[in-house]
Amino acid sequence: MSGKRIIQTLMIEDDPFFVVVFSDFGKKMQDIELNIHHAVSLDESLSFLDQHPEIGLIFLDYRVHHEITGLEILQHIRAKGINVPVIVVTASGSEEIAVTMMKAGASDYLVKGTISPEALEMSIKDVLEHHQMFNQAIGKGEESILKDLAVKRSLNGVCIMHAKGFITYVNPSFVTMYGYDADNEILGLNMKELLSPPEKFDEVLGILHDKKTWLGELIGLKKDNTKISLQTLFSLIYYEPAKTPEIMASFIDITKLKDADKKRESLYRGIMEVFALKAEEVGNVETAGHIRRIADYARFIAEELSKTELLKDYIDEKYVSDVSYASMLHDVGKWRTPNEILLKPSQLTDAEWVVIKQHPKLGVEMLMPLLKDKGSNQYLRLVESIVLYHHERWDGSGYPDGLKGEEIPLSARIVSLADSYDALVSDRSYRKGYSHEEAVEIIKKEKGKFDPRIWQIFIDKQLEFKRLKDKNSAIS
């Protein structure tokens, strides 16, 4: 044990299960031991790397976060001049993804299901050896290295500017992004001239001098005055104490992505509304009123979760809106369930329950024409998780896969409680609905079936659930 090389490692991963797995692997290797630190978001990762220069290795999940992909995180890391070796890990292998990540500055690419302590140690040794050779081959100063990295390693636009915003360097991607022909057309301009409105840059500067980094979306103004949507990261860069700091900025053009997402989500949400309004016409028990109540409950739960310390950086306004709309499809699979089972005026037999429990997977099959192109689209990923897993239970007693605890996606845990409450207070073909008070008592007794945080929100805010139920009571 004492002869092992200990490597301080940052793992950027949203699934705590894999953090535990890699921590275990990190202790089982022959010559190396990993001391793993964990981050989820980009700003959390960059802040940690700034504060911990001893980090010698990064593991990066390709699908790490709903707001930003692993590729974008890697581009931001490299654009900031952080030259720590990065090993990308993902749940599924793809040659195209691997090539893209390597071009963006990754050192290796591993598929989670195929990793063993031996394979991991081999990858780490190779990565560290190549990294050491690269560093030995560089004979330039730090400032030149940063600029070279920006040119050679970054697929996104990068510029360096004085502390007041006057641009001193841009890479080719930045020139192309803004529609210029050469960098000398941009050098000397103030960043304010390239943003709309210009005063937005003053806000960024104010935050930069306090927090040293700023991450967010801005509107860029191209040479021809057309506007582009940009995912941006600004960082204060210190070369030496005596020198005035500079600002390094990294830009990703997300205009087409945002336009496409808006069009797709407008279409998909329209489809959801049609499903809701047509539900009664096809004889389905999931009426328009039920669907809208679930959407309201889900929105409220997500809003409350966003106020908690653990999830405040994970749940934003878009997530709240997306999970609310996505919840409307939770039981779409029941449309393929025979009405004689759905509307049966008595308790179901065991055989009939087997049929009922197929509806989550049937729902995903029905939506596959939409879901097959989901990529990193948060809304569609939430739809898939909710439809497939909203009947899973925290204690593992649910279906279709018997997931438990954090294995269940957060969105499905939200809808699980929302759907359970509304099912209790709604009339069914075989019984009248329970009163709000009776439903609360039942859910209290079934505490182990729900995410403890979500269960506590329901108990503490039960009157808001009653208000939302009563608001939609006029809609059957």
Confidence of residue 67 (pLDDT cuts 50, 70, 90): low
Q: Is the pLDDT of residue 68 over 60?
A: yes
- CB-based contacts of 73, cutoff 8 Å, min separation 6: 12, 42, 45, 60, 64, 65
**How is the chain split into domains, by residue range?**
5-137, 144-253, 256-471
Q: Which two tokens stand for residue 120?
A: 């991991």
| Rounded Cα gap, residues 222 and 228, in angstroms | 7
| 3-state SS assignment for residue 317 | helix
Buried b (16+ CB within 10 A) or exposed e, 281-297: eeebbbebbbbbbbbbb
Q: How far apart are CA 294 and CA 329, in angstroms?
A: 10
Of residues 247 and 425, more confidently modeled = 425
The two tokens of residue 286 are 């999931």
Per-residue confidence (pLDDT) for residue 56, from 0 to 100: 93
Tokens matching residue 67: 């707001």
Phi then psi for residue 233, to 5 deg, are -135, 120
Helix axes 462-471, 288-305, angle to 10 degrees: 150
Task: Supply 352's token pair.
Answer: 């009939």
User: Order of strands across the sheet with 167-170?
Assistant: 167-170, 157-161, 246-253, 227-237, 213-221
Angle between the 255-278 and 317-327 helix axes, to the nearest 10 degrees?
30
CA pair distance 460, 450, nearest whole angstrom: 15
Kindly state the average pLDDT of the residues 134-142. 50
What is the architecture, at CATH level 2, of domain 256-471?
Orthogonal Bundle (1.10)
pTM recorded for the entire structure: 0.51
Most confident range (mean pLDDT) of 123-137, 230-244, 364-378, 456-470 is: 456-470
In CATH, the architecture of 5-137 is 3-Layer(aba) Sandwich (3.40)
For the chain, what's the residue count? Answer: 476
The residue among 6 and 292 whose pLDDT is bigger is 6
Strand order in the sheet with 86-90: 32-39, 5-12, 57-61, 86-90, 108-111
CB 255 within 8 A of CB 220: no
- Segment 448-452 shows an average pLDDT of 96
Q: Please state which of the four CATH numbers 3.40.190.10, 3.30.450.20, 3.40.980.10, 1.10.3720.10 is assigned to the domain occupying 144-253.
A: 3.30.450.20
For the ranges 28-32, 53-57, 149-153, 205-209, the lowest mean pLDDT is seen at 149-153
* 122 has a pLDDT exceeding 70: yes
State what percent of residues in the chain have pLDDT above 70.
80
Using pLDDT thresholds of 50, 70 and 90, give the confidence band for residue 323: very high
